[in-house]
Structure 1
Amino acid sequence: VVSSEQQEDGSLLTHFDQTPRMSTYLVAFVAGNLQRVTAKTKGDVEVNVYATPAQPAASLDWALEHASKTIDFFDEYFGVPYPLPKSDHIALPDFSSGAMENWGLVTYRETALLADPATTSTSTRQYVATVIAHELSHQWFGNLVTMKWWNNLWLNESFATLMEYLATDALHPDWRQWDEFANNEGVAALRRDSIDGVQPVQTDVSSPAEIGALFDGAIVYAKGGRLLRMMQLWIGDEAFRAGLKQYFTRFKYSNTDGNDLWSCLSEASGKDVGALMNTWISQPGYPVVYTSLDDGELVLRQEQFFVGPHQPSDRLWPIPLGVNSSSVPEILSDREWRVPLTSHEPLLLNQHNAAHFITCHDDQLRSRILQAVAEGTLTSSQRAQYLNEQLLLARGGVISSSVLVETLSAFREENDQTVWEIISLAIGELKKFVAQDEAAEKLLRQFTGKLARTQFERLGWDKLDNEPESDSKLRTTIVGCMLYSEDTAVVSTARKLYQDTPLTKLSADLRPLIIGTAVRYSDQPAVTVDQLIEAYQTTQSADLRDDIASGVTSTRDAKQLARLIRLLTDTDVIRSQDVVHWFVDLLRNRYGREAAWHWMRDEWSWIEQTFASDKSHDYFPRYAANLLMTRQQLAEYRDFFTPLRRDQSLVRAIDMGILDLEGKLDLIDREATGVVTALEKIL
């Protein structure tokens, strides 16, 4: 603002400074009754955080602190200062995206910006910090330098995904953000990218309808960010920073494609970055590297990894192996290599868990790793990586899913939060094998309780003074496992906490679990749901609303499920931005799945009208495929969605959904008996 002048007619005339050269999609105006907190960065940039007056003033402070510190960090890291005199951040009550990087005026959902100390969980505070870092990195990647066309969307989103972790790791090293990067972006990318028909990171775009389909969070965000992290480690951080500085300086206020970036990074590093990266961003999928021992030689062989039905593939990648043996070359670019190997130590590939591939060891090499797990000589990052790779290999039918039961047993004394995130994923994988068999499900519940018991006894229900945030997050996972096990004492405690404690006073880390338990075991489900819906409508806390949604949708009562499903189209109760969250939670509930699936098909016209204009349109076929569980539902999925392939923005989601669901059902048919037998044996 240059000046403001009160006019004779009572109006206010405001003069603004000239807008810098920018893409039109980055222009935003916001007007309303707003509160504000403000600060200055070391470079004298004015930082403001805005929210409606309904929000507690204290909920703006966390965002203000992190926005200011993040700008300072990027100023130094990029060597190119933030290009504007101010940086505004505003929380909007109803916003379809998580956030949008408008230049100088970033817009957010309330849950992505506000952190009320009284009601916000540890995970949410960390999420807010990463979203702010993501959007602020866009002020350079996307805003100062903009992609030439949508096929290079990854120049915006892949880099922002990488930078959100790099910045928050620098500001909060105790958060172990690179482990979170592997568990969040790595897991999402490896799962999605294993399905035949997935898009590559760089995808040609020939029509406006195809643009919305580009925003696949697991690919252009997660996989792309993972590939850039792989490249950063390959050339070294010093060269990476020097190349970025050159890129921003050379191309500021102009448009680029990927080769412009590779050129700058190649000049800075002396390595041919394009030769490595162009294959990775232009090809869909990723390789599995098979390792075996043969008469004193290590045999390494790569092929494309798939989960579910697929066409044959002869794709190859230049793979930075990151192996803990000097006898193994740096990059595997051929189909197969044989190298001498005399070491009897565990063979670890992809040591930083940043390169986009997985490893399948033969029995001899696998036994070395399992021994290292048992002896505690692998780092927590290595343990989590190994377990996640076993999950993927089981999903792909490379190893038997029953092996997961034995593998998990080796983690019974595990106390690391990031490893337990993968253990929880593994338990989720096993659930699908027992979903139609109550006796088998009871076995898995018992197994889960035994796995979690040691950590539950260590952590308990109550947060300790000065405990590490990792323990606070781990408690959430462990209590969730104990509640799944239907441990009588744990369920009783959760119900008592709900009865005796106001919702806003419940532990923010445990609140959705406590609410869900109260709903599932309620003697008066209608009364409990009534109370929660009223609280949902009256609270101004977006965090509490999310927790209530997660909890109330876990009811087992058919009448209450029908009531909740009717609310999905009632925007006076559930804002349109939150419908997908409610829908997914109802689909995840085995008692509500069929009704939610019927609702989606019955209300498709409303879904199209409400969501077709934003990027969440294809969430419905994608999440339905993830959560449907029967052959009948697969047939219904095909019948319903096949005619909708006329919509170009849905084609890939539908085609991949069919393959994903087919692969899951085929796996259940093949492996369920073996999984149940393994559970019986281990117990």
Structure 2
Amino acid sequence: MGKGFYISKRLGLVFLVLGISAVVSILALSVIYSQEKHKNKENSTVVSTAVPSSKSPPSNKPWDKYRLPDSLSPQFYNVTLWPRLEMDERGMYFFTGTSGVAFTCLKETDLILIHSSELNYTLTPQTHHAMLTGLGGTSAPVILETWLQTQTQLMVIHLKDKLKVGKSYWLHTEFRGELSDDLEGFYRSEFVENGVKKVLATTQMQPTDARKAFPCFDEPAMKAVFHVTLLHPPETVALSNGIELGTESITINNQEVLRTRFEPTAKMSTYLLAFVVSEFTNIQSSPEADILIRIWARREAIETGQGDYALKLTFPILKFFEKYYNTTYPLSKSDQIALPDFSAGAMENWGLVTYRETSLLYNPKVSSSANKQWVAVVISHELAHMWFGNLVTMRWWNNLWLNEGFATYVSYLGADYAEPTWNIKDLMVLHELQAVFEVDALVSSHPLSSREDEIATPDQINELFDTITYSKGAMVLRMLSEFLSEPVFAKGLSNYLQQYAYDTSVYTDLWQKLQEVVDADSNVHLPASINEIMNRWILQMGYPVVTVNTHTGGISQQHFLIDSEAEVDSPSQYNYEWFVPITWMKKGVNMGQHWLLSKTATHEPMRTNSEWVLANVNVTGYFRVNYDPQNWERLLAQLSLDHKAIPVLNRGQIIDDAFNLARANIIHTTLALSMTMYLSEEREYIPWESAIKNVRYFFLMFEQSEVFGPLKMYLRGKVQPLFDHFRVITSNWTQMPSGHMDRYNQVNAISLACKTGVDGCSELTRAWYRWWMDNPDSNPIHPDLKMTVYCNAIASGGVEEWDFGWKMFKNASIAAEAMKLLFALSCTTEPWLLNRFLEYTLNSSAIKKQDASFVISYVAGNVIGQPLVWEFFRGNWEYVFKNFGGGSFLFESLIQGIAERFSTQFELQQLERFKEDYAAKGFGSGTQAMDQAIETTKANIKWVSENKKQVMDWMIKHSA
């Protein structure tokens, strides 16, 4: 048994079934395999006794509802799967399996509803999909009929008599499924090793795809224990959530296979289940470690040391979280595996975490500092889930933000512990806060938490995997931790995890545990309960802009919208009013915290006639800040006189807030532009990155207009000193800066310098790239500079440079290098090359499906490529939707990337027409992204019409 694993005495009876069903499973798989060899695909599909159309009208029948009834409770499963890693005679990859589930009846019912999708069942002699037996001496009712309800993805089993409350039963099924390459459920991944194509079988169950691997009660609250057995080819190794109990060779139909059994899992949700069958190898922790840690990947990757960094990080991060949560790691082992084909960045399967190769593997000779940081943060994110999400799980997907927002927040804490010199916690402001502010400033945003009955279908669930859930969730929890203090926050978390271990919860359970700690701590003073404070942040969308008037000491808040005239049609019980914790300083001196609990208030200490005031110190609060014009001028004067008097995070905040307040027509655009004037003296990464991100909007809006020339000239003057600074400290580009953030800012300096025409920049990147072209086996470009060098060289080159980049991409054996080249190939200015690149995304042998959506987004970011992508997107809509419409992050970013330059009435009409044309079929997980694209386009049109002339005039005036 695993650590913390418990089964009641009553359920102990059902273990008697396991020994028998293990034998039955092998025999059944043999029968299925034999049958499948003689049946075509059509005949293998079950003919139901009643199969309603997938478009049948909604009814009140239980099988027409997406949520399972609460009449049955699974206790444990016995699952045996046999993936075939070679094509059958019809050119198909498939898997066969048997599954038994022990469940207890909680409410009297004559129906068993269990999730099943895209599985074909071997019929019993009674032409049913399943067999039912009673446990512990209980007799099972006779099955009258069974069918598959395709729309709601349910197997429906109608019984002659009702199941008895408190009694346990065993449901046995035998089935076959396709081992497809769709990156969902139980699927196949392919790669080439030493010129030979290899196939592996792996899983991605979250959120609703465990039902594609075996019939199951596929809801997060339906936790159970899983006993897994995998059959696999002799040259392969099998992995699952539990440690391997043993592997033996057996023969089925004259075919030798290995059978691996695994330790029973802890009690957990179906979406956390994982299986992998591959020829991978591993490196592992020393035998003395109290947790077995293994890093799995392609043999070449492991042998070249690409898993070493992940292995080095995992143990200290696990130990950090053990201390942070005050809870021991719940399992006996931690496997982490890098997959060649994987739709997400990573997946927190309990005990067997799956990753994209770029999220787990690191090679210091090829991978950049950004690649290294990504590996550290993603590993930390997934390991944080081992407790928060896996040990304690949200009851339903409407509270997904609690899982993902929390893991996103503490991932920076874990990575900071593992790499303390990086100061990585500061990057939350850039990567999470500023990023989500853009989306959450739209009327098409959504609250963090919804009612359960608002989230039912797989598409609705998939839509929740967005930046609001991850980044806003992280930032409101960070704000909570800051005003409570980290020790109080961590103690509440520990109490929460201990009470709800191996169970599910809702967000109010966490509020309660935190409140108990607050009530016992005399040093914590809150103006209201945690429930009252935090519900305003999670039950209504958006965030406030807080305006400070230093003449009167007045403070006010209003719902910040990027289009100030947009109409909000989503009512809020709190009337878009928040309880806002405001930390502030006066002329460099911290003045503590003040709570704004209403629309307006007065805080006398903020009144001043000569000293600058700064609110939201170190940007710990989830809000923007505006000031009276005089205080803006004082801040601008301070930046010009001695910018270091203002904390570095707040320098980035001032720039980001000013530009977005200007877009919302709250302050003048020229005031926002003025905040960049001091940048010729700035050397820190965060302010520069904030500026570049916001100036990018000007590029998007004006790159094809007469404003672009003066814009380039102004920015050239600002970035020239930064470019010269890095040229000097790197001894004319022969060394690299020592600081983590400095390395990032060097990339900014070169990238913006080349973009704006700084003398020597383009020649530098072209020379590096040309040297590599002449010596393809010896790349002289430092990994940190590769992406910007590749991009600029290909942009200023022609077909020769592009073809060389494509050749290097196809030959790349390290995923991080491949992704740099994939981005750089989108930088060409040749339309025909961009069109060819886009066509490659339709061919998975040219560009993997997991990367195709990125290519489309990359090309859309190119001013020449954007209209090409728009035509490509509409012309290949069926393919794009089929392959990317189910994965929210991919599809959301795809739609946003395509529409981000739209700023004309014609483009808006095209976008709205496109939405109308496909409204009947819907946009899957991209539904909200489509609405957000339309809303953003309207805001862009308005902003350009109102600001084009003044931006032009200001740039000309300040470019001299």
**TM-score, normalized by length of structure 2?**
0.68
Give the corresponding residue for 2:281: 35
Identify if the C-alpha distance between structure 1 residues 329 and 545 changes in structure 2 by more than 3 Å, giving closer, same or farther.
Answer: closer
Between stretches 571-580 and 53-62, larger displacement belongs to 53-62
Q: CA deviation at 1:340?
A: 2.0
1:105 aligned onto 2:363 = no
Matches of residues 529-568 of structure 1 in structure 2 within 5 Å? 529-568=802-841
Q: Tell me the percent identity.
A: 26
Match of 1:298 among 549, 553, 558: 553
User: How far is the alpha carbon of 1:274 from its aligned partner?
Assistant: 1.3
User: How far, CA to CA, are the matches of 2:549 and 2:357 in structure 1?
Assistant: 51
| Distance in 2 separating the partners of 1:345 and 1:49 | 55
Aligned residue runs from structure 1 range 477-516, under 5 A: 477-501=748-772, 502=776, 504-516=779-791
Match of 2:427 in 1: 180
> Is the 2:834–2:865 contact (alpha carbons within 8 Å) kept by the matching residues of 1?
yes
1:577 to 850, 854, 862: 850
Please say if residues 707 and 948 of structure 2, whose CA atoms lie closer than 8 Å, have aligned partners that are also in contact. no
Q: 2:98 maps to which residue? A: none
Q: Report if aligned partners of 2:384, 2:407 keep a CA contact under 8 Å in 1.
A: yes
Aligned length: 677
Q: Counterparts of 2:629 and 2:391 in 1: how far apart (Å)?
A: 52
Amino acid at match of 2:409: L
- Cα offset for 1:11? 4.5
Mapping for residues 249-268 of structure 1, pairs under 5 Å: 249-268=498-517
- Tell me, yes or no, if the aligned pair for 2:445 and 2:932 is still in contact at 8 Å: yes
**Are positions 1:167 and 2:414 aligned together?**
yes
The equivalent residue for 1:133 is 380
Tell whether 2:631 aligns with 1:631.
no
Aligned with residue 715 of structure 2, among 436, 443, 448:
448
Contact 1:381/1:419, CA 8 A, preserved across alignment: yes
> For the structure 1 residues 430 and 71, does the alpha-carbon distance in structure 2 shift closer, same or farther, using more than 3 Å as the test?
same
Equivalent of residue 59 in structure 1, options 290, 297, 306: 306
Query: Would the aligned equivalents of 1:292 and 1:361 in 2 still touch at CA under 8 Å?
Result: yes
User: Aligned partners of 1:5, 1:621: CA distance in 2, in Å?
Assistant: 47
SS of equivalent residue, structure 1 residue 276: helix
Q: Distance in 2 between matches of 1:473 and 1:42?
A: 38
Counterparts of 2:250 and 2:701 in 1: how far apart (Å)?
74
From 927, 933, 942, the counterpart of 1:666: 942
- 1:156 and 2:406 aligned: no
Give yes or no for contact 1:319–1:333 (8 Å, CA) kept in 2. Answer: yes
Task: Tell me the alpha carbon deviations over residues 144-173 of structure 1, each in whole angstroms, 9 at most, x when there is no partner.
Answer: 000001111012100001011111122323
Paired position in structure 2 for 1:605: 878
Structure 1 counterpart of 2:603: 339
Higher CA-based Rg? 2
CA contact (8 A) 2:553 2:602 kept: yes
After superposition, give the CA deviation of every residue in 1:222-253 in whole Å (9 maximum; x if it has no partner). Answer: 01100000000111111111111101110000
Deviations 1:9-33 (A, max 9, x none): 5644433222110101000011111
User: Which of 541, 547, 564 is the matching residue for 1:284?
Assistant: 541
Report Cα offsets for 1:18-64 as digits up to 9, x if no partner: 21101010000111111211115996111111111242531111111
Q: Where does 1:84-99 land on structure 2 (aligned, <5 Å)?
A: 84-99=331-346
Contact in 2 for aligned 1:49/1:89 (Cα 8 Å): yes
Query: Where do 5+ consecutive residues of structure 2 fail to align?
Result: 1-242, 520-525
Greater CA drift, 189-198 or 367-376: 367-376
* Contact 2:459/2:886 (8 A) holds in 1: no
Output the CA distance in 2 between the equivalents of 1:17 and 1:94: 27
Q: Indicate the residue corresponding to 1:419 in structure 2.
A: 687
Q: What displacement does 1:329 show?
A: 6.6
Any conservation in 2 of the 1:4–1:12 contact (CA below 8 Å)? Answer: no
| Cα deviations by residue, 1:363-399 (Å, 9 ceiling, x for unpaired) | 1111222222222311211111111111211221212
Deviation at 1:644, TM superposition (A): 3.1
1:201-237 superposed Cα distances (whole Å, 9 cap, x missing partner) = 11231333210111112x1110110000000011111
Alpha-carbon contact 1:91-1:107 (below 8 Å) kept: yes
CA 1:11–1:593 in structure 2 vs 1: closer, same or farther (change >3 Å)?
closer
Which structure dedicates a bigger proportion of its chain to strand?
2
The CA deviation string for residues 548-578 of structure 1, in whole angstroms up to 9 with x for no partner, is 1211111111221221121121211111111
Show CA shifts across 1:291-328 (max 9, x none). 2134xx31111110101252158421000111236988
Structure 1: how far apart are the matches of 2:331 and 2:317? 15
**Alpha carbons 1:79, 1:245 under 8 Å: kept:** yes
Match of 1:240 in 2: 489
What amino acid does structure 2 have at the position aligned with 1:428? Answer: R
Structure 1 position 126, deviation (Å) = 0.6
1:619 is matched with 893
1:607-652: CA deviations, max 9, x gaps?
A: 1221233333343333322233433222111101234344264432
CA–CA separation in structure 2 for the residues paired with 1:680 and 1:253: 64
CA distance in 2, matches of 1:497, 1:135: 37
| TM-superposed deviation, 1:467 | 1.5
> Is 1:206 matched up with 2:456?
yes
Residues 579 and 446 of structure 1: is their aligned pair in 2 closer, same or farther, counting only changes over 3 Å?
Answer: same
Is 1:391 equivalent to 2:655 in the alignment?
Answer: no
- CA distance, structure 2, for counterparts of residue 254 and residue 42 of structure 1: 31
| Contact 1:322–1:330 under 8 Å retained in 2 | yes
What CA distance in whole angstroms lies between the structure 1 residues aligned with 2:244 and 2:830? 60
Aligned position for 1:362:
628
Deviates more, 1:642-651 or 1:67-76: 642-651
Pick from 374, 389, 405: which aligns with 1:142? Answer: 389
Higher relative contact order (CA 8 A, sep 6+): 1
1:283–1:680 CA distance, 2 compared to 1 (3 A): same
SS at match of 2:295: strand
1:681 paired residue number:
957
Give the conservation status (yes or no) of the 8 Å contact 1:504–1:544.
Answer: no
Post-superposition offset of 1:87: 0.6
Structure 2 equivalent of residue 215 of structure 1:
465
Specify the code of the residue in structure 1 equivalent to 2:718: L
Tell me what 1:372 maps to: 638
The 1-side partners of 2:741 and 2:734 are apart by 11
CA contact (8 A) 2:543 2:559 kept: yes
Gap regions ≥5 residues in structure 1: none
Aligned AA (1:211): I
- Identify which range, 545-554 or 500-509, moves more after superposition: 500-509
User: Is 1:315 the counterpart of 2:572 in the alignment?
Assistant: no
* Contact residue 402 and residue 671 of structure 1 kept, 8 A: no
More displaced stretch, 397-406 vs 253-262 = 397-406
